[in-house]
């Protein structure tokens, strides 16, 4: 079997799909994208395709090593996202070729179902109490919300109080066991993070995500004493990025993204590294159906995964949503906050190619907003 062609489709709201075609008629799908840099990742995939055309798609590890080590300069969000989508498509082909789900090649099932959480509140969090109550009634057992809007290095105490009020309102509308994850989104600098951790310590949070930017990891040891689990990893892109985070002992939950951190092959390795240090995994996935399907395959065979992010109804999905591009829409049906393990071969999803091509003709040019503080300085989004 040989790879004959790679096609790319940039589809709204902000995704990039990869279709890998073989001479045996087996097709694999991937989702190689960095949000806001889809065109750049697309170019990287096209460059890498020269390595792949005419090759056997079943030699996944060899292809991964070639794509990673074959370039003198390596790593980072663009190159690793390109590899991620290619890796997903290769695994999809392998599963379809042998008529088995991908997790069967990675050790088989380690669980019977996967807990998921839902986003509420939007970019500038509002109406979170009502939205959390709605998610609880829908059967979800956990949500994630942004903590705040922009926040300066040292900022007004009103902003701190607003964060606390939102979290308190969500807790009152749900129950003591309902999972509340608060995403600082890298918007909060070290000094304000310490203030917020102290104030949030009484609310039994599931975790705080990206309490500081990943490039400022030396500050994490100032946040661990408050007893709130710390999660991060969406802006780390390989096992080499994660190894220092894992070994320093200050992070409780890693969040590698299946479309950013080297795909199925690499995230499984990152999770295994983390297990040796007693660290949990909660894969990052505010993206499309291919990325989520890839995450679910890893979740199924990885015992230290405890919950999965999913993007159905997320505030980014304006106009198009998770289910729009797949035929078997029940594959992502959530029951009591859990997702059943998929049984179909490969990634387990059936892509609606007609819809993909239709929406690719429309395309997108999604970029994240540029925020400024009151004094005019650029703020972290």
Side-chain half-sphere of 44: how many Cα atoms within 13 Å? 26
What is the distance in angstroms between the CA of the first residue and the CA of the last residue of the chain?
A: 45
Active site residue 284: yes
| CA-based nearest residue to 68, from 255, 249, 240, 232 | 240
Catalytic residue among 63, 185, 189, 260: 185
Matching residue, tokens 């040989």: 2
Examine the residue annotation and report whether 315 is marked as an active-site residue of this protein. Answer: no
326 three-state secondary structure: strand
Largest alpha-carbon pair distance within the chain? Answer: 63
Residue in the structure block whose two tokens are 């007004």: 156
Catalytic-labelled residue, pool 152, 189, 260, 284: 284
Compute the distance between CA of residue 379 and CA of residue 207 in angstroms, rounded to an integer: 23
Non-local (6+) Cβ contacts of 145 within 8 A are 119, 120, 121, 125, 128, 132, 166, 170, 180, 181, 182, 183
In contact, 59 and 65? CB cutoff 8 Å: no
* Residues assigned a catalytic role: 185, 284
């Amino acid at each position: 079997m040989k790879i004959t062609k790679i096609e790319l489709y940039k589809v709204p709201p902000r995704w990039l799909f990869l279709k890998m075609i073989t001479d045996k008629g087996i097709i694999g799908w991937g989702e190689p994208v960095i949000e806001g840099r889809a065109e750049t990742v697309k170019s990287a995939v096209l460059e890498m395709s020269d390595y792949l055309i005419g090759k056997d798609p079943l030699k996944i590890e060899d292809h991964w090593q070639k794509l990673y080590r074959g370039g003198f300069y390596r790593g980072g969000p663009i190159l690793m996202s390109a590899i991620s989508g290619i890796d997903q498509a290769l695994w999809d082909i392998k599963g379809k070729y042998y008529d088995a789900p991908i997790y069967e090649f990675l050790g088989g099932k380690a669980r019977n179902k996967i807990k998921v959480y839902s986003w509420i509140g939007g970019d500038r969090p509002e109406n979170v109490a009502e939205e959390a109550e709605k998610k609880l009634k829908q059967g979800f057992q956990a949500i994630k919300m942004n903590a705040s809007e922009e926040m300066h290095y040292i900022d007004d105490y009103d902003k701190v109080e607003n964060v606390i009020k939102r979290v308190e309102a969500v807790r009152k509308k749900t129950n003591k066991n309902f999972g509340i994850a608060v995403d600082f989104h890298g918007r909060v600098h070290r000094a304000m993070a310490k203030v917020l951790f102290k104030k949030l310590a009484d609310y039994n949070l599931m975790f705080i995500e990206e309490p500081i930017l990943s490039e400022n990891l030396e500050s994490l040891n100032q946040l661990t004493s408050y007893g709130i689990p710390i999660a991060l990893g969406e802006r780390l892109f390989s096992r080499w990025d994660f190894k220092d985070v894992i070994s320093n002992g200050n992070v409780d939950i890693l969040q590698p993204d299946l479309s950013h951190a080297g795909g199925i092959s690499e995230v499984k390795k990152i999770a295994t590294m983390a297990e040796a240090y007693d660290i949990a995994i909660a894969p990052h996935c505010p993206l499309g159906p291919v990325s989520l399907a890839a995450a679910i395959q890893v979740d199924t065979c990885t015992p230290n995964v405890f919950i999965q992010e999913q993007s159905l109804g997320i505030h980014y999905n304006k106009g198009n949503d998770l289910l729009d591009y797949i035929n078997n829409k029940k594959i992502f049906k959530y029951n009591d906050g859990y997702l059943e393990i998929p049984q179909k071969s490969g990634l387990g999803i059936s892509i609606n190619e007609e819809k993909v091509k239709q929406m690719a003709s429309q395309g997108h040019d999604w970029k994240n907003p540029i925020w400024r503080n009151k004094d005019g300085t650029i703020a972290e989004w």
